[in-house]
Structure 1
Amino acid sequence: MMAIPRILLVKNGCPPGWIRSERPSGGWCIKVFAGAFIRDAADLKCREQGAVLSGLKDSAEIEKITDSARLIFSPNPINILWIGAKRIARCLRAPPSTGCNWSNAFEWTDGVTTGREGFIWNTGQPDNRGLRQGCSTLMVLMGPTIRTYNLFYNGRLDDNDCPYPVNGYVCGKHAIRN
């Protein structure tokens, strides 16, 4: 008996459940996943999907991602997602300064995201607390803000310890060209 080939249905070049965005290199598919992993483990989970941890193009893309995440994580009031950004080497063990600040201490790691528009940091971030926060996370809140040790805003970034488990991650991969 002959096996029936499995057909992957795509919409706008992205698999079901993935959000399409545009990058200079072409279509980019993004999906939020739940799971408490450290950053490297989250990146491996993305690779299982043929993807990588995704960078963030701009505020419109961040809004699409947070809207998607709210559906997954409801009713959790605060959710933290790994994204594809890391602190540059010269700023890894450095306190915030002119040379290592919110506008220049991080870079996108997905190989596709360009520009700085997606680096929308929470107030006072990135702070490199303990001089060990080499990775970046996206805050997804059920409301516009939440106060923990700091006031956090929905859709803003925070620097975080890479080996710290958070409750989700954002994967991205190239759209299929039709």
Structure 2
Amino acid sequence: MFNRAQGSWCVKVFYGPGTQAAALQGCQSQQATLTGVQDNTERLAIAAAARLVINQNGGGQGDVWLGATRKPTCPVASSCNGLLTFDWTDGTTTGIAGFKFAPTEPNGIIYPNWHNSNPWGQQNCLVELISGNSEVAKFGYAHGDMDDQHCQNTFRMYACGKKP
């Protein structure tokens, strides 16, 4: 449990491969929602919890869906400062102190062959990168860094939050 200025907030990391929409449904089945990250302490605690979860389920590297979406006013990486690109969606998390993006992220990739023919479009959702056994996660980014991703990608974990 985290003690935020706006009140207590419980967070739990779940294992369950799925898209961002499936992760949200998983949280809703727990009477929760995909969690935002209020500050660096929460970000590191979620990373530590996710490391335990991933190691209980085969180890390796993974991603944790979080509760944030790209702002419509930030359609490309150059249109907004990285920390101002996303909004928290859990209705409780505020500010930008919880964001820590990997270098060159969020990059808002729209793959050329996807732009017109693939409904995935832009990377509008947010994940936290996890390594089961080191401080280096995928792409050489640090364990616990954040990355923008296509909401339709399938990842191994998601973090839910709710008031106690």
TM-score normalised over the length of structure 2: 0.87
**RMSD of aligned alpha carbons:** 1.3
Counterpart secondary structure, 1:145: coil
Residue 24 (structure 1) shift: 2.3
| 1:136 lines up with 2:116 in the alignment | no
Residue 68 (structure 1) shift: 1.3
Structure 2: give runs of 5+ residues left out of the alignment: 111-120
Q: How does 1:1-178 map to 2 (within 5 A)?
A: 20-74=1-55, 75-91=58-74, 94-97=75-78, 99-130=79-110, 132-142=122-132, 143-146=134-137, 148=138, 150-175=139-164
Counterpart secondary structure, 1:103: helix
Question: Whole-Å Cα distance in 2 between the matches of residues 24 and 89 of structure 1?
Answer: 28
TM-score normalised over the length of structure 1: 0.80
Question: Whole-Å Cα distance in 2 between the matches of residues 171 and 45 of structure 1?
Answer: 8
Identical pairs, percent: 33
Question: Whole-Å Cα distance in 2 between the matches of residues 79 and 38 of structure 1?
Answer: 13
Question: Whole-Å Cα distance in 2 between the matches of residues 103 and 70 of structure 1?
Answer: 24
Question: Whole-Å Cα distance in 2 between the matches of residues 135 and 127 of structure 1?
Answer: 12
Structure 1: give runs of 5+ residues left out of the alignment: 1-19
Which fold has the larger relative contact order, with Cα–Cα distance below 8 Å and residues 6 or more apart in sequence?
A: 2
Equivalenced residues, count: 151
Question: Whole-Å Cα distance in 2 between the matches of residues 100 and 114 of structure 1?
Answer: 18
Question: Whole-Å Cα distance in 2 between the matches of residues 95 and 61 of structure 1?
Answer: 27
Residue 95 (structure 1) shift: 2.3
